Amino acid sequence: MWRLFLLGVLFSIELLAVTLWLDGAVLIGRPGLSGFIGVWGSWILRAVVGFAIFFLTFSWLNYRPVLLDAARDAAESGVDWRFVAAHAVFISLFGILSSSLYGTTSSLLISDLVALAWLATGVSAIACGAFAFILPNLWLRIARNTGYLWIITLVAVLVACLTGNSTRSLWPWAANITFRMTRVLVSPLIPNLMADPGKMLIGTPRFLVEVAPECSGLEGVGLTLAFGITWLTLFRKQCRFPQALILLPAGAALIFLLNSVRIAALILIGNAGAERIAAGGFHSQAGWIIFNLVALGFTVASSSVPWLTNPKSADAAAAPADNPTAAWLMPFVMILAAGMLSRTLTADFEWLYPLRFFAAAGTLVFFSKKYAGFDWRFDWFGPLAGLVVFVVWIAPDLFVPAGAGAMPSPLSTATPLARNAWLAFRVLAAVVTVPIAEELAFRGFLYRRLISADFESVSLRRFSWVAFLVSSILFGALHGSRWPAGIVAGAMYGFVLLRRGRIGDAIAAHATTNALIAIDVLAFHHWNLW
């Protein structure tokens, strides 16, 4: 399995380099094949990445033994260095041809030939890279033993790209409907409402909003449809068809309507005097709140409304007993929910950050009886690992002089009481509630859930490459621009947990890292770390 991971890392690095280096906009408008690449190049990349992600995910869900068999055989066959060399040659040629293709223009024939060679070397480089780590016969076996999955994935990805690139023309049309619905919603509440359908401006003299094409509501519709179809596919045995399909248009219509409600609320908040909150946190977070509510409503309806559920499914027949997941996951979920709420009410500084602390602390107290049975002990190794993670975390900032990341001005100009109270809760959250909540969620729950559905029966000392890598990568992905250090941190805390099988060790390591970061921020004014 590590070989598949290595292949993923290699392709990700190359993809990142290509994306950063080549600007597809240069080719847009050129005649022939190079112009086609300019329009469709980014979509071809998305199709390749999408295919890999969809195929791997659904293979893992439905054909795990096939993947494990192939991984075992791949491990026995070794790396084929001839394909590695061929990959290097094709990548070099791809680089040279890229310079020519994205550089100065030449005659149509030469330009088309270069574009054709560029595509051929790119495809050959991908194929050779894939064959180097997993031999061609194993790829064939995976394709054969996973039924029609590769065809289904290919069609889905192609349709996604074709639709995605062509629905741009629908944006102005959808934005117009959103504009009209917003006016209907707001006009009874604001007597002096200004609405200019020509410029798509709506609001008041105090707060005016432009309903841009990208705010049309189609993005939410797309996300809801993608989520709904994935959900109905994965849980099809628990749903009653065709009745459950009604949830798709219902969800799409609801989120389209709620987008107008979002814009109406934006105008009302801005007009009420909170312009910076409306344009800042509310504008950023309201879309996510709406999407999450619609998605949750979709899942609850599909599993709870008798008309939509399959009466023969075992899940519908059984009565709920207990919920072992809640104690491990709820503190983390509550931090995320409180964070979303506090950011929604934020103008330029998150004064409501303490909400995250109280949400997590309250949840931890609520489940305290369950936690009494956990192993909270730790020894010297956890804090030592935490120190190592701290060094990795601040390494990119080593050349940033102390004081470069200044204290945010709303905090520095606040009264001493407000500033110190905010700092106290910020430190408490970083050192106490966040390490406990994140370690319970990522190491205690997710790591073991990736091994078995009955995660509580899995020992905290049991090792699995897939669970270790996936939980570390997801942990890193949640840390924004510091995702590489986040992955290292996740792996290190996972290693600490596995050493003795004690959740306390992982929490001690995480708390040490966060405490050192807090000291760095407060003592050396590296505010960019928070």
Q: Which of residues 246-285 bind other proteins (CB under 8 A)?
A: 248, 259, 262, 283-285
Q: Is 373 in the site for other proteins (CB under 8 A)?
A: no
Residue 242: is the preceding peptide bond cis (ω within 30°)?
Answer: yes
Residue 119 vs 327, nearer CB to other proteins: 327
What is the distance between the terminal CA atoms of the chain, rounded to a whole angstrom?
35
Run of H or E including 92: helix 81-101
Distance CA 114, CA 493 (A): 49
Least separation in angstroms between residue 449's CB and other proteins is: 8
Interface with other proteins in residues 438-457 (CB under 8 A) = 441, 445, 449
Write out the DSSP string of 20-83: HH--GGGGTT-SHHHHHHHHHHHHHHHHHHHHHHHHHHHHHHH-HHHHHHHHHHHHHH---HHH
Contact between 233 and other proteins (CB under 8 A)? yes
436 sits near other proteins (criterion: CB under 8 A):
no
**Complex with other proteins: residue 266 or 508, whichever CB lies closer:** 266
* Strand order, beta sheet including 194-196: 194-196, 201-203, 208-210
Rounded Cα gap, residues 298 and 291, in angstroms? 10
Hey, which residues between 180 and 219 contact other proteins (CB under 8 A)? Answer: 212, 214-219
Would you count residue 414 as binding other proteins (CB under 8 A)?
Answer: no
**What is the per-residue DSSP string for 379-410?**
-THHHHHHHHHHHHHHGGGTTSPTTSBPPPHH
Which position among 12, 77, 137, 292 is part of the footprint of other proteins (CB under 8 A)?
A: 292
Question: Is the CB of 137 or the CB of 230 nearer to other proteins?
Answer: 230
Of 37, 45, 49, 40, the closest CA to residue 19 belongs to: 45
For tokens 């947990």, the residue is 497
225 in contact with other proteins (CB under 8 A): yes
Nearest approach, Cβ of 427 to other proteins (angstroms)? 21
Q: Report the residue from 37, 149, 329, 360 that binds other proteins according to the rule CB under 8 A.
A: 329
Site string for other proteins, 462-501 (x = CB under 8 A): ---------------xxxx---------------------
CA distance 156 to 469: 27
Structure tokens that stand for 226 in this block: 């993608």
CB of 329 to other proteins, least distance (A): 5
Restricting to residues 13-52, which ones interact with other proteins according to CB under 8 A? 46, 50
Instruction: Indicate which single residue of 318, 365, 372, 523 sits in contact with other proteins (rule: CB under 8 A).
Output: 318
Site string (109-138) toward other proteins, x via CB under 8 A: ------------------------------
